[in-house]
């Protein structure tokens, strides 16, 4: 029997892996716990991780704290898993669910894995720091892990017969057109939300100054870049050059793709002109209706970093189906002026 769920590996879980690697370098013993299944209401999703050191130190979270406390107590008392991974469940009874802080009688299943050299942790972290997606296979009989490139856009955690399969790394992609200052803020923030970030700018005067670790810079023309990327429903495309010759090239391809979010910077007047131009590129009215321009939520953003926040907030709303989300200016704030 195989249980499978889709989840998003968030940045908190990446921090868990970093902490584990640090503990190992310092000579500590540690266990990695991964949520593999939940029933009813659960505080954390499938794929969430917690690390427990032999002295009870905790990194990450799989519950409201009670399960972490139980794991810490077991670590301090020496009640570790053997040298190989084990599967445990919390909250099977209503009494246990209450004790471990699981709402509505929820139950969660964890794989507890003693971390060792054959866990492949350092290699996994190196690939993740490079922005790559990795499929990790953990053999429950030996505790040995193997890594391979993840070929599916979705994050999968599957506990099967004798094996835990988990996908790590960004499952969402962001293509930014333009390598200017605003793009740097957007790229840094997007990585914190676990996007794989690709930046396209054929202009040498901008691309030469790009220095955001973990991103991929390409100098191809924007329309070629979008075509090669083949945006899917896990992809966002945001044009930030203010140059119609570049932004429009990307948009005319992105709006015909399955990208879940397509946006472009510019005033409302410029956006009207942009839409008129794009009608000449075999785009329909329905295609143009997908364009978010001016890009981002209306939060009064003025600086490059604030605009980046507005863009990511709007992308997040679109990801979760809050299509009508929009803030109206506060009369009180309008009277006092911007912060």
The domains of the chain are located at 3-168, 172-319
What kind and span of H or E run contains 184?
helix 181-192
Q: Is 54 in contact with 75 (CB distance < 8 Å)? A: yes
- Specify the pairing of strand 3-6 against strand 156-160: antiparallel
Q: How far apart are CA 10 and CA 60, in angstroms?
A: 11
Distance from C-alpha of 115 to C-alpha of 109, rounded to nearest angstrom: 19
> CA 48 to CA 33: how far, in whole Å?
8
First to last CA, the chain: 57
Q: Where are the alpha helices (H) located in 59-178, listed in sequence order?
A: 66-77, 94-99, 121-129
- Residues present in the chain in total: 339
Angle, nearest 10°, between helix axes 121-129 and 11-25?
140
* Reported pTM: 0.60
Nearest-CA neighbor of 47 among 205, 172, 156? 156
Other beta carbons within 10 Å of 89: 13
Instruction: Give the 3-state secondary structure of residue 58.
Output: strand
The span from the CA of 320 to the CA of 82, in Å, is: 41
In 10 A of CB 85, how many CB atoms? 24
- 134 forms beta bridges with 149, 168
The contacts of residue 122 (CB under 8 Å, 6+ apart) are 21
Can you list the positions of beta strands (E) in 40-139? 49-53, 58-60, 86-90, 107-114, 134-139
pLDDT on residue 79: 84
CATH class, domain 172-319, is alpha beta
Looking at residue 97, its pLDDT comes to 55
* Res 103: pLDDT: 55
Residue 291: in which H helix or E strand, if any?
Answer: strand 291-292
Residue 192: how many CB atoms within 10 A of its CB?
11
Sequential pLDDT tens for the chain (339 residues): 334 343 334 456 778 999 999 999 999 999 999 999 887 766 678 888 999 999 999 999 888 678 888 999 999 998 877 789 999 988 755 566 556 655 555 688 999 999 999 999 999 998 887 777 889 999 999 999 999 988 765 668 999 889 999 988 777 899 999 999 999 999 999 998 888 899 999 999 999 989 999 899 999 999 999 999 889 888 999 999 999 999 999 999 999 999 999 999 999 999 999 999 998 888 888 999 999 999 999 999 999 999 999 999 999 999 888 766 554 444 433 333 433
Task: Kindly report the number of other CB atoms within 10 A of residue 276's CB atom.
Answer: 10
Tokens for 292, please give them.
């978010």
| Cα distance between residue 322 and residue 104, in whole Å | 26
C-alpha radius of gyration, the chain, whole number: 23
């Amino acid at each position: 029997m195989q249980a499978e769920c889709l989840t998003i590996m968030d940045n908190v879980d990446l921090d868990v892996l970093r902490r584990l690697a640090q503990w190992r370098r310092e000579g500590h013993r540690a266990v990695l716990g991964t949520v593999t299944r939940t029933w009813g209401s659960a505080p954390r999703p499938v794929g969430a991780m917690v690390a427990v050191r032999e002295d009870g130190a905790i990194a990450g979270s799989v519950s409201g704290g009670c399960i972490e406390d139980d794991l810490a107590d077991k670590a301090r008392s020496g009640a570790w898993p053997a040298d190989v991974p084990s599967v445990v469940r919390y909250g099977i009874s209503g009494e246990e669910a209450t004790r471990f802080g699981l709402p509505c009688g929820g139950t969660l299943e964890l794989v507890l894995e003693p971390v060792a050299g054959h866990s492949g942790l350092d290699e996994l972290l190196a690939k993740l720091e490079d922005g790559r997606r990795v499929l990790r296979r953990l053999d429950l009989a030996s505790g040995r892990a193997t890594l391979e490139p993840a070929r599916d856009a979705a994050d999968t955690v599957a506990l099967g017969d004798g094996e835990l399969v988990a996908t790590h790394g960004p499952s969402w992609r962001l293509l930014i057109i333009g390598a200017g200052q605003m793009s740097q803020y957007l790229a840094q923030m997007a990585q914190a939300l676990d996007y794989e970030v690709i930046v396209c700018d054929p202009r040498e005067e901008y691309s030469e100054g790009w220095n955001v670790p973990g991103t991929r810079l390409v100098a191809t023309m924007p329309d070629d870049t979008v075509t090669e990327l083949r945006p899917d429903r896990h992809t966002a495309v945001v044009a930030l050059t203010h140059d119609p010759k570049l932004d429009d090239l990307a948009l005319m391809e992105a709006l015909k793709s399955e990208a879940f979010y397509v946006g472009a910077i510019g005033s409302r007047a410029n956006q009207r002109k942009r839409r008129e131009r794009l009608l000449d590129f075999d785009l329909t009215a329905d295609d143009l209706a997908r364009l978010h321009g001016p890009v981002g939520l209306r939060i009064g953003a003025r600086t490059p970093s604030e605009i980046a926040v507005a863009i990511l907030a709007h992308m997040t709303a679109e990801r979760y189906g809050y299509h009508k989300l929009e803030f109206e200016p506060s009369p009180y704030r309008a009277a006092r002026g911007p912060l």
